[in-house]
Structure 1
Amino acid sequence: MTAMLALTQHRCNKVPIIIHDESEESKMWSQIHSEETKKQSIPVVKAWQLNERMYGELQGLNKQETAEKYGRHKVHEWRRSYGTCPPNGESLQMCSQRAVAYFRKHIEPQLFAGKHVLVAAHANSLRAIIMYLDKLTTQEVINLELSNGVPMLYIYKEGKFIRRGSPLGPTEAGVYAYTWDLALYRHKLDEMSN
């Protein structure tokens, strides 16, 4: 849903279309045959590999209920360690294996070909991809905080990924500072509010 909302507001004014690739039949059914339609649309690919980490027996419980049932220290360990799984759940390491494998197989080739890709996903799958891109340690990734709805921009240049913007704060200023159109837009907003 986040990707669809973002794309409907994108300056390209293209219609986001979900591409189904679960089976050969679904690929065939979601194929666009009209060249004119292809020019007016932008593909959206859903991938289960970018789903949120599976919390097993913690799934659906709020933090308070979970802490009361299992103890605050244990819940913190499950939520904030790299290799420890909650009961019948998935560790960040396991989530990272599937998310990064998907990124490397399906997204990197697009980037290497010079295409632009928007990745909208859940915090832990994004945290795993950021760990891979920024070469973070397991300790650095568990302390990485991501703000909801704040875009992060990566540029692939000279064989490496360079981050523009910061995941650390609730401000979008870091991203605005790196794109000319957005910087002008932000400047106009700042002038109007003063």
Structure 2
Amino acid sequence: MNTPTRRTFLLGAGATLTLTAACGNGIGSDAAAKIDARVDATRDYLISHYPGTRDLMNKAVGVLYMPLITEAGFGVGGAYGRGALRVGGATVDYYSATKASFGFQIGAQQYAHALFFMTPEALADFRAGPGWAASADMQYAVKDKGGNIGVSTTTELAPVIALVFGQTGLIAGAALAGVKYTRIIP
């Protein structure tokens, strides 16, 4: 009888995370229609719960909506979700977001996020690349006491603004992570 090794455990954990992350993320028949419906619901949720995002949407050159990201981690973690890039209110491309992390972490959660491209250059760079990783030039806006998204002059001048919202589940710890956005054909 073979004794399981650390490598076997990590490969099994990675496969489990991949399968878990794929659940409920629009994989299957009519994937584009499912993604578009979720993007519409996400946009409507942002407008109704955080009225300040309407101004942000109007100022943005394009918005990448990721309506459902599923994340899990136990030392090694991962996340996956699908969404759509909207320019002028119309879907122009579909993207997947894949996140990998390593560190002290345990748990699982689901959340949504939106990337607001505030300059034509930022949007063009995003669309021209074969894949795009979140980097230090991204600014995060957070919910403030009034139930609005707190966007200051600093974030409005940023080329990309990221909003994370609708978190459910529990994940705790500290980890190094990176996110890659890749154009897909659903």
Fold similarity call, TM over 0.5: no
More strand by share: 2
More helix by share: 1
TM-score range, shorter-chain basis? under 0.3
Bigger Rg over Cα: 1
